[in-house]
Structure 1
């Protein structure tokens, strides 16, 4: 049995059967924690070393004060284990880590898309199109298993050292038909990036995931969510539930029309993720760009030494030569003539040049 299949079988075995729950395998000190990566409503995420296999992993530990919290973590493991896509984080195992259940996941070293935008600036049309196509494919892979992400947003996209985007954090992923609200009445999702119908209390759907992906692409191109900055979560949720209103779209992007369509308040009028993949992918191909690959111009750390430019070495002062008589056709400057750009720094490997401005 392969690793992914084994994880799926392990997750399935963790389900509730009858009145009792199947015991999880004990980690037994197998995972040595290195540092905390994050913390949320469902627990802490740690970078750890799998001492059995000698690889770094991310471990999500559950704070499961009740059966609902534990069931949601089991659901996350099942959802992740069932998805096969190169841009989705992989689940390796589900174990009992002493403090409770722990999902052992692939560790992706990099920065969130929100950090990339904040630190490096906005994406251009080509990079945004590539991001849109790859994330649409990742969500489609999840939807094909009946799994909705429900919290698509810039901080849930990790850009690795090779500038490849990965969809992470299915912590609130649920099968279609599951409730939108927790038992405590809290809305699942992030107000700035939540689809209007979900904010209004309707069930999530593939169309709502598609809206949230379009909102993420809008952020990558404009630096703000499509409804603008509402100031606080309550105001953002109210604006989302009202729907409609003016959209804050990127001014000069070739994707403006497609974004306007994908951010329609009526789910039935939005293009499907399959349509997004096809149309945006065709736009890339016509411009001579690959549909997969880097979504930013980040430089891999292994290339940093190669791209650094050493300062020019000081040149010795040439000796003073005795004046010579010029002859017809000779260079009056002699050996002093140099290329004026001899010591210029090479171009910075920064953002790509102008991108196609074709509209869909």
Structure 2
């Protein structure tokens, strides 16, 4: 069978070029010839799956469409349509000029803590919106986070999402997700919930700043060893997180009851970003005896990850250790 490039799906979506691939499918840039806009279309990988595997893959695409259709949020990749062409379902998605977070980490290197906090704030907002309509993503990881050319992060791939009370979704009893990003309670056999999505977000940010997931990888001890570390909550201490360390620890709490909710994570990460972005008044010497005129300001600098401004007894403010 010829490749899909050049095909017109459902009489309106002309496939233009491949733009990405994952374990379950290939994503192409396409043109919606009816609305005259660029979209993305996702084709399943069915080769080698067999009849049962192919049926499950088709179901995943339909589930992804049904779950994501309930969400309308700027940090969630929108799904516009599901079409069936030659007995294959295709997802028609919002086209986002972007790279996945895992690709960014490979091509550009690790994120600094403040950039990671911005990504985390965006994805936490996406999760808060999903949880508000009872959707649990269940596979938050760097490969499912898109970093747009504008710097905005979006959550994608709701293929194994679960909707509370909907028996048509993937069984909540199954151990689903990516092992290195699972929450401890999921590795112990408890059904994934909103709290496990938050943990997976924490694991994703940990990977972004530390270079590896918080429990290590399968390569270190094999899958049984990794799942054992996950179940115990044996997180390797973060060493590069800087000002992100506090919020990251709350995202990675072993006890789900002590973990941030997605909404609380948005608040904490937004506060961190705003605090680090805000200009800080830095004076070159002691404050003069005469009062500063109303409205006068000194040039400001951004706080760095190395430390906050300190104030010494004589009134001067310095960026690290006081000189006085």
The question of 1:231 aligning with 2:181 is answered no
Distance 1:236 1:50, change over 3 A: farther
The question of 1:107 aligning with 2:99 is answered no
Distance 1:284 1:175, change over 3 A: same
**Residue 283 of structure 1: aligned partner:** 272
Aligned 8 A contact 1:42 1:171 in 2 = no
Matched ranges for 1:337-348 at <5 A? none
TM-fit CA distance, 1:69: 4.4
Q: Which runs of 5+ in 1 are unaligned?
A: 1-25, 291-351
The question of 1:77 aligning with 2:27 is answered no
- Rounded to whole Å, the distance in 2 between the matches of 1:225 and 1:110 is 22
Aligned 8 A contact 1:228 1:248 in 2 = no
The equivalent position to 2:232 in structure 1, one of 243, 249, 254, is 243
Aligned 8 A contact 2:216 2:226 in 1 = no
Aligned 8 A contact 1:31 1:48 in 2 = yes
Larger mean CA deviation between 133-142 and 35-44 belongs to 35-44
Q: Which has the higher strand share?
A: 2
Q: Over the residues paired in the alignment, what is the CA RMSD in angstroms?
A: 3.0
**Residue 354 of structure 1: aligned partner:** 304
TM-fit CA distance, 1:144: 0.9
Distance 1:234 1:153, change over 3 A: same
Distance 1:224 1:104, change over 3 A: same
The question of 1:119 aligning with 2:101 is answered no
TM-fit CA distance, 1:223: 1.1
Aligned 8 A contact 1:192 1:240 in 2 = no
**Residue 154 of structure 2: aligned partner:** 166
CA offsets per residue over residues 149-204 of structure 1, 9 Å max, x none? 1110111111121222111111111213568x968x97421111111211222101
Distance 1:281 1:288, change over 3 A: same
**Residue 293 of structure 2: aligned partner:** none
TM-fit CA distance, 1:353: 8.3
**Residue 18 of structure 2: aligned partner:** 36
Aligned 8 A contact 1:218 1:259 in 2 = yes
Q: Which runs of 5+ in 2 are unaligned?
A: 1-7, 280-301, 309-324
TM-score of the superposed pair, with normalisation by structure 2: 0.73
- Rounded to whole Å, the distance in 1 between the matches of 2:276 and 2:20 is 39
**Residue 203 of structure 1: aligned partner:** 191
- Rounded to whole Å, the distance in 2 between the matches of 1:114 and 1:130 is 16
Aligned 8 A contact 2:10 2:83 in 1 = no
**Residue 338 of structure 1: aligned partner:** none
- Rounded to whole Å, the distance in 2 between the matches of 1:88 and 1:276 is 17
The question of 1:88 aligning with 2:76 is answered yes
Larger mean CA deviation between 205-214 and 41-50 belongs to 41-50
Count of aligned pairs? 270
TM-fit CA distance, 1:105: 0.6
- Rounded to whole Å, the distance in 1 between the matches of 2:104 and 2:11 is 35
Distance 1:153 1:28, change over 3 A: closer
**Of the two, which has the highest radius of gyration?**
1
TM-fit CA distance, 1:226: 0.7
CA offsets per residue over residues 269-323 of structure 1, 9 Å max, x none? 2121222222222222233459xxxxxxxxxxxxxxxxxxxxxxxxxxxxxxxxx
Distance 1:182 1:175, change over 3 A: closer
TM-fit CA distance, 1:40: 4.8
Distance 1:40 1:163, change over 3 A: closer
TM-fit CA distance, 1:86: 0.6
- Rounded to whole Å, the distance in 1 between the matches of 2:34 and 2:193 is 40
TM-fit CA distance, 1:225: 0.7
- Rounded to whole Å, the distance in 2 between the matches of 1:237 and 1:54 is 48
Larger mean CA deviation between 155-164 and 211-220 belongs to 155-164
TM-score of the superposed pair, with normalisation by structure 1: 0.67
Secondary structure of 1:94's partner?
Answer: strand
